[in-house]
């Protein structure tokens, strides 16, 4: 029933627009202004009706209820967008993810082949914790304990609901799983 009503309204708007556009050049200026206003209103109605149709099928939200837009809720009550400058912390961030519990940022430093955790809330006194890799930025393909493991210019980062970190170790052509156990 809703689809039929939408179709009828859209058809009427469509016919109204084409009937009004055929004689636009012959109208005096006040009529052109009214015609432009009617065209704008019809355009707004069209967009509104189109959004009703698509909003039921394309609504995407994350687990926390926020939209998939590049916005992260760090502290309750604040939605912020920010640029992360890791160079002040000795990190060259390539990718950043939020832990499943929302209490830490996981930062992939591709240049130095490291992964760091930064606790929330963010402050200028916060220190990043090295999760995997070496402080010196050594590269390689070594599995093992977290700080003994080596990667070679990783380029991708994902976190599952259990807190396991998956890294696309690009130069080694491997997907690495990092858990709290190592």
124-146 confidence digits (pLDDT tens): 777 889 888 888 878 888 887 87
Q: Could you give the CA distance from residue 68 to residue 90 in angstroms, rounded to a whole number?
A: 29
Q: Looking at the structure, do residues 170 and 131 belong to the same domain, yes or no?
A: yes
Assess if residue 64 is contained within a domain: no
Residues 47-65 pLDDT 10s:
766 666 544 433 344 444 4
Could you tell me the CATH number of the domain that includes residue 110? 2.40.10.500
Q: Looking at the structure, do residues 80 and 38 belong to the same domain, yes or no?
A: no
Phi, psi of 146, rounded to the nearest 5 degrees: -55, -50
The residues with which 45 forms a beta bridge, in sequence order, are none
Q: Looking at the structure, do residues 88 and 144 belong to the same domain, yes or no?
A: yes
Q: Could you give the CA distance from residue 41 to residue 35 in angstroms, rounded to a whole number?
A: 10
Assess if residue 37 is contained within a domain: yes
Domain count within the chain: 2
> Which residues span the domain enclosing 120?
72-178
Q: Looking at the structure, do residues 15 and 47 belong to the same domain, yes or no?
A: yes
Q: Looking at the structure, do residues 126 and 163 belong to the same domain, yes or no?
A: yes
Lowest mean pLDDT among 62-66, 86-90, 103-107, 162-166: 62-66
Q: Looking at the structure, do residues 51 and 77 belong to the same domain, yes or no?
A: no
């Amino acid at each position: 029933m809703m689809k039929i009503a939408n179709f009828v309204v859209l058809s009427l708007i469509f016919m109204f627009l084409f009937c009004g556009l055929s004689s636009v050049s012959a109208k005096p200026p006040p009529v052109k202004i009214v015609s432009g206003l009617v065209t704008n209103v019809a355009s707004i109605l069209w967009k509104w009706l189109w959004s009703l149709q698509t909003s039921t099928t394309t609504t995407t939200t994350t687990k926390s209820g926020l939209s998939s837009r590049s916005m992260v809720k760090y502290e309750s009550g604040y939605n912020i967008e920010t640029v992360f400058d890791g160079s002040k912390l000795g990190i060259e961030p390539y990718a950043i993810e939020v832990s499943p519990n929302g209490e830490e940022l996981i930062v992939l430093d591709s240049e130095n082949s490291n992964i760091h955790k930064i606790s929330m809330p963010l402050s200028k006194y916060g220190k990043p914790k090295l999760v995997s890799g070496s402080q010196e930025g050594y590269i390689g393909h070594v599995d093992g304990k977290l700080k003994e493991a080596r990667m070679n210019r990783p380029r991708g980062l994902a976190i599952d609901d259990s807190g396991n970190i998956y890294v696309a170790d690009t130069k080694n052509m491997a997907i690495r799983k990092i858990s709290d156990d190592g």
